Amino acid sequence: MRTVPGVVVAGLTAGAVAVVALLAVQADGAQARAEAARASAGVSAEPSPSAPAPAASMPALPASSGTGYRVVYSVSQHRVWLVDPRKDQQVQASFAVTPGSAEPTPGSYSVYSRTAAGKGTDGRQIEHVVRFTDQGTVVFGFGAAVDGSTAPPTGTLRTGGIRSSRADGQVLWDFAPTGTRVFVAE
């Protein structure tokens, strides 16, 4: 059987277009989930501790907290801001978090690893883990306990897991793919 080169090229082109379309739909779905999570968190009249704060009541972004699309974590305030300078309201969300027993050194980092679900160093089941640095033997990253707990770790184990509510963990997960800058401020 003889294959006509034009048919092969047309088939390969159609396959490539289908793959690109699928990837576009998946990317659009992640954006839609992030927007839906932000919208549903802001629906209640009184924001819950896990709902991203409305812009009017949101603590100000720390001074000298980097530029561009980024996650900002304040060590002193135990708070996260998700910043997208391409938007009219640059701070897309902000929420309180609970640090581990160790804090990362202030500076600029990048998300280097993500895990949808696993076990934290404190033994709890966690989800939406977004890691941005390891310093010595401590790995620092954001995540949410599946049981909803944001209690700080006990004992002498040094942990770098920065815990949020499950809803906030989902928003951060959707906002910060691998390579996203994370700025740790005082």
Task: Check residue 172 and give its pLDDT.
Answer: 98
> Dihedral through CA 141, CA 150, CA 153, CA 99, nearest 10?
40
User: What domains are defined for the chain?
Assistant: 1-186 (2.40.440.10)
Task: Check residue 56 and give its pLDDT.
Answer: 58
Q: CA separation (Å) from 121 to 49, 60, 103, 134? A: 24, 31, 15, 13
As given in the structure block, the two tokens for residue 98 are 């609970």
* Among 138, 119, 132, 120, CA closest to 178: 132
Residues of the chain below pLDDT 70 = 1-56
Question: Quick one: which H or E segment has residue 164?
Answer: strand 160-164
pLDDT in tens, 2-56: 555 554 444 444 444 343 333 343 444 444 444 444 443 443 333 334 445 555 5
